[in-house]
Structure 1
Amino acid sequence: MNELTLHRGLAMHRINAMILRYWYLLLSSWPRLLELLYWPILQIITWGFLQLYIAENANFFARAGGTLIGAVILWDILFRGQLGFSISFLEEMWSRNIGNLMMSPLKPIEFLLALMIMSLIRLAIGIIPMTLLALFLFHFNLYSLGLPLIAFFCNLIFTSWSVGIFVSGLVLRNGLGAESIVWTLMFALMPLACIYYPVSVLPAWLQYVAWSLPPTYVFEGMRALLIEGTFRTDLMLAAILINGLLLVASFGAFLALLRSAKKNGSLLSGSE
């Protein structure tokens, strides 16, 4: 057998073909590449100088040593991971190509795996320069977090994929009229994820909602590491458990929405 296949007949050559398609689309447009770099750099400069100001005027933030910049970078991983996934999906919707893909031998799971890998590629293009700029301008080395950084990154990217898969299914079912949810849903989670402040700031009843979101555990874990020097393994394990449930649920929702799109004809029209 010449083709490399994965479990249950997943074919690497089909996944690779989709990745190459999105890679060539990315390289063919300098505005797309510029956008990947522009927003992370703008974020780190804006919040970095704010961090410097706070550090000079508040002893707590001076001791915290980079919690604000760290939160900005981790938030960008979460947001751009989802956006990188969704943009590649929207490329197919905008070009009216999604129907052709779904009628080809390409399996839905292969399609989603290709989108996941492309989200990592897009994320790397934006985040690596951002972290280097944080090191150069503000002397904050994200990579000095060591192994905990891997736990933070994995949990955030898993959450971003879950959201990306779910919103892609909604756009697939409802057409481009639902496109705005791609850009807004993650921002709706932002206040509850407690990115720039601890969960204890929220009202007691809202804290239960916050703890149901995996990013909350990541940002609490980051603050514990930077302020107290303690890596909270319990927080990371809880985040992984919730992320596993969310990924399974998002896959199921995508497949259900795909079947509904085929049944109702929205798969081919893709209109608003």
Structure 2
Amino acid sequence: MSEIATHHAISWHRIQAMVLRYWYLLMSSWPRLLELIYWPALQIITWGFLQNYISQNDNFFARAGGTLIGAVILWDILFRGQLGFSISFLEEMWARNLGNLMMSPLKPIEFLISLMIMSLIRLAIGVIPMTLLALFFFDFNFFAIGLPLIAFFCNLIFTSWSIGIFVSGLVLRNGLGAESIVWTLMFGLMPLACVYYPVAVLPDWLQWLAWTLPPTYVFEGMRTLLIDHVFRADLMVWSLGINAVLFVASFAIFLALLRSAKHHGSLLGGGE
């Protein structure tokens, strides 16, 4: 009877061993450690700036019109464009199939183009119902924006691909322990991209950094179009120029990380 009681008793040594396992796993992965600080800081910064913007504009909601709904839809295009790209990549990592692909005649550029196409397919499946809901429930016709919508969409999708290529390279090199970067990096850009408020709300020392991000120009252009009914083509040109630089840089970084993964043998592993 005493042996049975001992068998069913809780062992704090075993609990301690498991806690140590998870502690070492956490401390050995900087993305996991950073994520613990990342989300609380991101929430307070993003909504803090929005609070400042609303408090500085007494008639904010009257002037805002459909800018908040428009910002939500454009943000979803940006986020889901990157997520659709990265999820398709992660599915190869989860299936431990990436090594097979890299040993096949498939070229890296062909692999990336296929991921871009899948991101468009995934994006369409998610965003089209979203725009219809905005129309029926809130009387906001997203497609009434007209031709400027093409400029908004192209710039946002190019940014999402650049970030998708970059984070895929990081996961490729560091393994699935860096998987959280796929979900978190884009949200880190939200406060600086000024999704829900203009760049002028940011402190002066942050504004210059915000203007280095292509989405900032898109969201500023969207607000100008919906509030002042003016299309700022110059903002779209600047966004496209920065996107071109980011796209080339992300592809070069991906190739460098791919070579590093092959050199260090992490291509076939892909574990934690």
TM-score range with shorter-chain normalisation?
A: 0.7 to 0.9
**Stretches of 4+ aligned residues off by more than 4 angstroms:** none
Q: What is the 5 A alignment of 1:177-188?
A: 177-188=177-188
One-letter code of the match for 2:180?
Answer: S
CA-CA distance at 1:132 after TM superposition: 0.4
Partner of 1:239, secondary structure, is: helix
CA-CA distance at 1:106 after TM superposition: 0.4
Q: TM-score, normalised by structure 2?
A: 0.78
Alpha-carbon distance in structure 2 between the residues aligned to 1:59 and 1:213: 29
- Listed one character per residue, the Cα deviations across residues 92-150 of structure 1 (whole Å, up to 9, x for unaligned) are 00000000000000000000000000000000000000000000000000100000000
Alpha-carbon distance in structure 2 between the residues aligned to 1:196 and 1:63: 13
CA-CA distance at 1:271 after TM superposition: 1.1
Q: What is the 5 A alignment of 1:95-114?
A: 95-114=95-114
Alpha-carbon distance in structure 2 between the residues aligned to 1:262 and 1:246: 24
- Listed one character per residue, the Cα deviations across residues 47-100 of structure 1 (whole Å, up to 9, x for unaligned) are xxxxxxx9xxx6443233200000000000000000000000000000000000
Q: What is the 5 A alignment of 1:1-272?
A: 59-272=59-272
Q: What is the root-mean-square deviation in Å for CA atoms of aligned residues? A: 1.3
Alpha-carbon distance in structure 1 between the residues aligned to 2:108 and 2:191: 33
Alpha-carbon distance in structure 2 between the residues aligned to 1:100 and 1:63: 55
One-letter code of the match for 1:245?
Answer: V
CA-CA distance at 1:257 after TM superposition: 0.3
Partner of 2:193, secondary structure, is: coil
Alpha-carbon distance in structure 2 between the residues aligned to 1:223 and 1:146: 14
Report sequence identity in percent. Answer: 82
Q: Which runs of 5+ in 2 are unaligned?
A: 1-53
The structure with the largest alpha-carbon Rg is 2
Partner of 1:161, secondary structure, is: helix
Alpha-carbon distance in structure 2 between the residues aligned to 1:128 and 1:89: 23
Q: Which runs of 5+ in 1 are unaligned?
A: 1-53
Q: What is the total number of aligned residue pairs between the two structures?
A: 217
Alpha-carbon distance in structure 2 between the residues aligned to 1:209 and 1:99: 38
One-letter code of the match for 2:157?
Answer: I
